[in-house]
Amino acid sequence: MKILNKSLIFLLFVGLYPSILFAAEVNQYKPNQSWFYGGFHIGSSKLTTDENDEAGEKEGQQYGVMASSTLEYSQFDLNIAATYYFLNFESDRVENVKYDLETKTLALEASPLFRLNSNLSLGPKFQFILTEKMLVGPSDKENTSEDDVTTNMLIGLNGFFKHKVQYAEKEFNLRYGLHIHKPINIGNRDITILLLSLELGQIINL
């Protein structure tokens, strides 16, 4: 049933995307431009907890690859992305116990971006994990538990700076990103993930 629910969510996401574009075009809300981006991100993660048996604070790193479509409207942009990443939280050894919480997963995210100028944009984001859930507490199970040691939802903030580059008479966007992620529904824990990203984008014709 879990696999079926995730498959339905994925199909809904993929199926609604062209429908939204079609409806927007009919109602004269077609984006001015559409861009496809591909790139990678890397950053650090920190977990604090009030749970006494979880070996205190943990730190780690996250890195992964990403692909996104950015629809540019007159007043804002809409960024829809898929990302596959590795994330871990590692604790210091406490009473001969050391925790290393690892997650490798695929996620979808959406972010409305408000342009501060022609190069800089900023906006909130929502990320939904499709495959292996994010492990945020010690568990003897795989990352499929329904309790608060796993989560499949994150909220956060995206900031992008882009500039145009020319190569072989074609125009590209080079886009630098700063991202803040906060997983939700994780019990008495707090997690902050800070990421930097680099993407190359090309305009696409819808």
Runs of H (alpha helix) within 82-198: none
- pLDDT at residue 168, rounded to an integer: 79
Residue 206 · residue 18 · CB < 8 Å: no
CA 97 to chain centre: 31
Residue 108: partners with Cβ closer than 8 Å, 6 or more residues away:
10, 13, 80, 81, 82, 127, 128, 130
pLDDT of residue 147: 60
The pTM of the full predicted model, rounded to 2 decimals, is 0.78
Task: Please tell me the predicted confidence (pLDDT) of residue 30.
Answer: 77
Query: How far apart (Å, rounded) are the C-alpha atoms in residues 145 and 56?
Result: 21
The helices-and-strands tally (H runs, E runs) of the chain is 1, 10
Contacts of residue 42, defined as CB under 8 A and 6 or more positions apart, other chains included, come to: 61, 62, 63, 195, 196, 197
Q: Which residue has the tokens 């199970």?
A: 141
Token pair 């995730």 in the structure block, residue: 6
Can you say whether the dihedral through the CA atoms of 118, 119, 124, 128 is positive or negative?
positive
Each residue's pLDDT, cut to its tens digit, for the chain (206 residues) gives 445 445 545 544 554 455 455 544 444 567 888 999 999 999 999 988 877 666 668 888 999 999 999 999 888 899 999 999 999 888 765 555 567 788 899 999 999 999 999 899 999 999 999 988 888 876 554 555 556 678 889 999 999 999 999 887 888 999 999 999 999 888 888 999 999 999 999 998 76
Query: Helix or strand or coil: residue 178?
Result: strand
Q: What is the pLDDT at residue 82?
A: 96
- What is the distance between the terminal CA atoms of the chain, rounded to a whole angstrom? 35
**What pLDDT is stored for residue 5 in this prediction?**
47
pLDDT computed for residue 144 by the predictor: 52
